[in-house]
Amino acid sequence: MALRSAIPTPSHLELRKERYPSGSRKPNPSIHPSHTALTIELFDIRADERILRGSCCGRALVGRFTLDANSELKVTLNPAPQGSVAEINLEATNTSGSLILHWGALRPDRGEWLLPSRKPDGTTVYKNRALRTPFIKSGDNSTLKIEIDDPAVQAIEFLIFDEARNNWSVLFGLPILPCFLECRRYQITTLYFGQEEYEAARTELIEELNKGVSLEKLRAKLTKTPEATDSNAPASESTVTTKVPEELVQVQAYIRWEKAGKPNYAPEKQLVEFEEARKELQSELDKGTSVEQLRNKILKGNIETKVSKQLKDKKYFSVERIQRKKRDIVQLLKKHKPTVMEAQAETPKQPTVLDLFTKSLQEQDNCEVLSRKLFKFGDKEILEKPKFTWQQTIWSHLYFTGRCQKRMESGRQCGPVLMGCFVTVKAPPSSILPSGSSLLDKACETSFSEYELNGLHCQDTGDAGKGTAKALLERIADLEEDAQRSLMHRFNIAADLVDQARDNGLLGIIGIFVWIRFMATRQLIWNKNYNVKPREISKAQDRFTDDLENMYRTYPQYQEILRMIMSAVGRGGEGDVGQRIRDEILVIQRNNDCKGGMMEEWHQKLHNNTSPDDVVICQALLDYIKSDFDIGVYWDTLKKDGITKERLLSYDRPIHSEPNFRSEQKDGLLRDLGNYMRSLKMEGTLIQSLRMAVHSGADLESAIATCMGYKSEGEGFMVGVQINPVKGLPSGFPKLLEFVLDHVEDKSAEPLLEGLLEARAELHPLLLGSPERMKDLIFLDIALDSTFRTAVERSYEELNNVEPEKIMYFISLVLENLALSTDDNEDILYCLKGWNQALEMAKQKNNQWALYAKAFLDRTRLALASKGEQYYNLMQPSAEYLGSLLNIDQWAVNIFTEEIIRGGSAATLSALLNRIDPVLRNVAQLGSWQVISPVEVSGYIVVVDELLAVQNKSYDKPTILVAKSVKGEEEIPDGVVGVITPDMPDVLSHVSVRARNCKVLFATCFDPNTLSELQGHDGKVFSFKPTSADITYREIPESELQSGSLNAEAGQAVPSVSLVKKKFLGKYAISAEEFSEEMVGAKSRNVAYLKGKVPSWVGVPTSVAIPFGTFEKVLSDEINKEVAQTIQMLKGKLAQDDFSALGEIRKTVLNLTAPTQLIKELKEKMLGSGMPWPGDEGDQRWEQAWMAIKKVWASKWNERAYFSTRKVKLDHDYLSMAVLVQEIVNADYAFVIHTTNPSSGDSSEIYAEVVKGLGETLVGAYPGRAMSFVCKKNDLDSPKVLGFPSKPIGLFIKRSIIFRSDSNGEDLEGYAGAGLYDSVPMDEEDEVILDYTTDPLITDQGFQKSILSSIARAGHAIEELYGSPQDVEGAVKEGKLFVVQTRPQMGKAREDYYQVLGVTVNSTPQEIKEAYRKLQKRHHILILLATRVMHDYTLLLNEAYKVLMRN
């Protein structure tokens, strides 16, 4: 009997009619001597497919098998002659009457059991996989006869099952355990057994292992024999076989697992690994290796400790995990927002003409003139300020001015002048040319633009460098030639510039970063034939990083950018440390007898100047040696980091040769070069390369060693170097870092990620303080961050087929890592809290978990987009300007910010969000579209970046815009019939309402593949057909579009509307009782109408108003004469389509002075209505109120409103602006209700959106989505949440007054003018980053239902009051509802009612009544039929008549 696996598997009985071929096993002599041709062999099924084979040359085969201590099984085979039936008889002695044969037949052409059609009585089919036949009880024995009539069947396989005891019987003393899942060649699969038996057997074996039973003991227990040997082997061979000690098997299995990357093994795979480890060691012993030699070979380092820990914990092949401390996420909060500080101007020393000019220029531009040069040009002078250089090209910012005082006094201007740029190599890059320049062959030509500055007529060639620390960047450009001499020079220059950078604020720090980044990405020269010692580079680097460390301590608002600089620079070191980099290469050559050749050339190169290339060269040598001296591996490593043969030859001391080592040098070189590599990284004397954190503080091992203390290793390396541990580290921190290093290469990244985050979280409080050796801690944190990102990227494959909860957990880990690297991280932390809560909801099977997670996915994307935009706005201008000065390749400049973002955690997080987005949408049944305005359209696809950029454009053919950005406040351009966007404006935002009013398709597409496909069809004609939740689209020929059959209603512009000019009726302020159509707009009148008519539980704020005509009256007052003249002049510019005048008019309106009578009347009305008067708190408070009023008036000229009125040909001069004055409801929540669902047009359903704080975030262009819900009017107690909020910002305010716009253009039939103009609070709102995880509206189901139901009830009550669909705005304060305004709901409202009755907007009440009665009479018979369709139609007729007659 041969046992070949860790635990036995089910035995099979095979009875075959065959003779032994030549060379097969001889018959087993242990069988009964009367059957000399019969051999029975038992093999472990995983070692051999055969289990029990009977082969006979006689009439019958007999086998006897022990079932237990008192019974046996006898098997007899009567072979079948040609065409007859084979008969198999089984008899079990001394058994119960409940035995069952679990069996099947084998054919050579099938791998699975065949179920013969001929079977004994009582046979049942088990799960279509096996047959189960009961034995027949006969006295103390049980018998069974099987007949096989299929000649293709060559064998049967069976198991014995005792049904009464629910146990599988034992054959040859082996338990029958169906517990393996591998292919049939190695074991029986669950094809033949039920999952219950499989799991029970597996559990039994795993429990034994977990109790600490060794595999050898388990084998002996199961077989009830000592370790078996082949019985056919000579006795001498059996006795001399050396047994592998079990503890070595455990160690070898652990080594195999560690080499595989510590994957997560299933229990079955664990057992396989133990057996493979045993085989490997047994093979070594069979070759003559002694057990002691084997022990010495594999027991190295702390391997025994690691294995013993697993044995102690009874967790085999499982990665240990650290226990993360429970800490409040908010402890990681940092609120250092980036602020831009303008540079200060210098005071000129002498008041010359050009000094005065320079001073005026500085004051105008609020900038510093760093240097200037004068050039004679006849009787004039050219002022150059300052100088830009790239290579040998000179480019100047030039001012051309008259020289003599007489010319300044006379006001004579210089004539047209052309300036040629002086070049010796090539023309300047086109990206920096001033407007109007002409690019020539090796120069460019630029006209001076004329202007007057403080009486001095001058001409200018441009103002490049806006949004940067311009003077600093120009200083860097001036010094770059010196910086290229060596890294020592560059680092010293950088240290000299730190003070100037700090004085320039954030833009100065960014300027240094951009310069260092260009160097790190090899866009700048590192060394220009200058011999410098490594210790000098190290000292310069140390000086620079010390300055950065000091700034890090003092200016926390700059820490994020300072980290970026330090990650690109490295740590630095002083004294003899740098010199050892050069000295140690000599030790390597001497110890390993490798002087001369490539090693000597490399030594000479190191002696002359060390560079980041040396780390790559060292790594290439290590890879070459490890590959058994494969020279191709050497070159592959070099090429991965951009080092070619040409680059090696370009060094001042070139490397010509390839490495050529001998096999006996291998171990010594691996040891010494490995230590040398560590030395390079430890000393940090070079810049971090683009692709590797080499020779820098970003290397994890060296960063940890520096903080924990350095211990010398090797022979002679780093002798005398003593680096002490950093003091004050948290308890347990060294073990935590040891855990990180032990698992840094693990295939399963999750435990490593947890360890890295725990280490960073422990460091976080130290980095917020001012500890000793702050620099070393910063570099350690940078290294932990870098390792984290690498580990996440390595785990992408692992996340391919996992449950959503796993991806959500990874997202939470990456968010935490991002928060630890970000200065202003409040929004990111609240996103993290949301994901953690969503994960808990998913684990608890909450049916809204996916909808909730989707909201935080959207919010997280907004946070990433905001961060990316911030980086771009801050960094890209400096990259472009400095890039132009240093002549950096344009492609490198273009992608500068993009590469910064791609290299951080934000890019990793974005990839994970993209993975889970479709999963969440599927679970939440959201689809790939949100259709905001469902209109079937066709048109030409036009791709644009922003809807805002084209809102005032007119398209001359039907156009469907695919806009990457839609904020919510834009206008729909003329000619546009559809807008598709990935952005998520609120359903009730201005642009959404405008789209529905104008019958324009408007939809959000969440699928990036679909969006990319549509963008690829730019210029083609497509047809879109929407439903409430999806859109189908197809390409169509132009002829179909031109036929006019499509777009019958889409994109129809609202017809021209007219206004009646309002007059000032003698009152500057009126109370709510005086509101009338002549005095105020519909907004004010509706609020007054609601007072006393809505249910008592709905509050309406007290209101007064500044009526129509007041603005014009104030403007005409003598005290505002100059303002009036300026506005009249600007209106003239506007009439000439100079739209820049809009902003100028708004600014001018703010200069109005309030007449005394206005102040008096407004005060009387406000106090008389019970409202507080701002002036009682001081003149400053009144000025705040007056400024808010003027801003409301000025909003008449905002771009969106102006272009909207132009679109409908509304006379803008006739538009009048009243101001509704209300005391602000300091809202906990704000809401907007549409009493008819605007997306579906369902009048039986209320749709509403709710935000936390004031409603401006809902009606304004604030990013993110509001909480949305619907509620059936016949079941107002059952609101259904459609989406959770993703808006990151909430607005809150103390007790204050709000001044609301109320124009006569907001309530026109067929034209939605609401929302176009501004409502301005007297006090500025506080922006608060929202934490939805503590918001009861989100987390408390009872509170949520109560508030949403109350909002729906209020909307329904107001609709009943007006008799038509309403657009209602309101607020919730401490559970009480307030309605601040209502208006008729546009879209599917009044204009459709006109269509229902077949009348026009100008129809009289009598005409409406006649049309209604005519339709009733026409459909009288059908109405009497009382069909469902006609019932609905009757209701619609009645509703239309009721609404229109009321109005």
Catalytically annotated residues: 990
Residue 176 contacts residue 5 (beta carbons within 8 Å): no
- Amino acid 516 reads I
DSSP string, 212-279: T--HHHHHHHHHTSSSP--TTS-HHHHHHPPPPPHHHHHHHHHHHHHHTT-----HHHHHHHHHHHHH
Distance between CA atoms of residues 672 and 682, nearest Å: 15
Distance between CA atoms of residues 1302 and 1317, nearest Å: 8
CA distances from 981 to 929, 1106, 1202 (A): 10, 40, 24
Q: From the CA atom positions of the chain, what is the Rg in Å?
A: 42
- Amino acid 613 reads D
Distance, first Cα to last Cα, the chain: 101
Smallest CA-to-CA distance from 1058 within 1218, 1215, 1197 is with 1215
Give the β-pairing of 373-377 and 974-981.
Answer: unpaired
Residue 686 contacts residue 616 (beta carbons within 8 Å): no
Using the structure block, give the residue that is written with the tokens 């935490």: 816
Q: Which residues, 6 or more positions from 544, have their beta carbon under 8 angstroms from its beta carbon?
A: 491, 492, 494, 495, 498, 569, 572
Distance between CA atoms of residues 531 and 964, nearest Å: 53
Give the β-pairing of 1297-1303 and 1267-1272.
Answer: unpaired
For 1281-1419, where are the alpha helices, taking DSSP H only? 1336-1339, 1341-1362, 1390-1397, 1405-1418
Distance between CA atoms of residues 910 and 915, nearest Å: 9
Smallest CA-to-CA distance from 982 within 953, 951, 961 is with 961
Give me 1247's structure tokens: 């749709």
Please state the φ and ψ torsions of residue 1410, each to the nearest 5 degrees. Answer: -65, -40
- List, as own/partner pairs, every contact residues 76-79 make where C-beta atoms lie below 8 angstroms and the sequence separation is at least 24, other chains included: 77/15, 79/17
DSSP 576: T
3-state SS string over 884-909? HHHCCCHHHHHCHHHHHHHCCHHHHH
3-state SS string over 1332-1361? HHHCHHHHCHHHHHHHHHHHHHHHHHHHHH
Beta bridge partners of 1308: 1311
DSSP string, 1424-1447: HTT-HHHHHHHHHHHHHHHHHHH-
- Amino acid 386 reads P
For 1208-1307, where are the alpha helices, taking DSSP H only? 1256-1259
Distance between CA atoms of residues 620 and 615, nearest Å: 9
Task: Say what the alpha-carbon torsion angle 1355, 1360, 1365, 1366 is, to the nearest 10 degrees.
Answer: -50
Residue 836 contacts residue 814 (beta carbons within 8 Å): no
Compute the half-sphere exposure of residue 492: CA atoms within 13 Å on the CB side of its CA. 13
% helix, strand, coil for the chain, step of 5: 45, 15, 40
CA geometry: angle at 1401 spanning 1398 and 1403, to 5°? 70
CA distances from 1214 to 553, 674, 1191 (A): 60, 83, 19
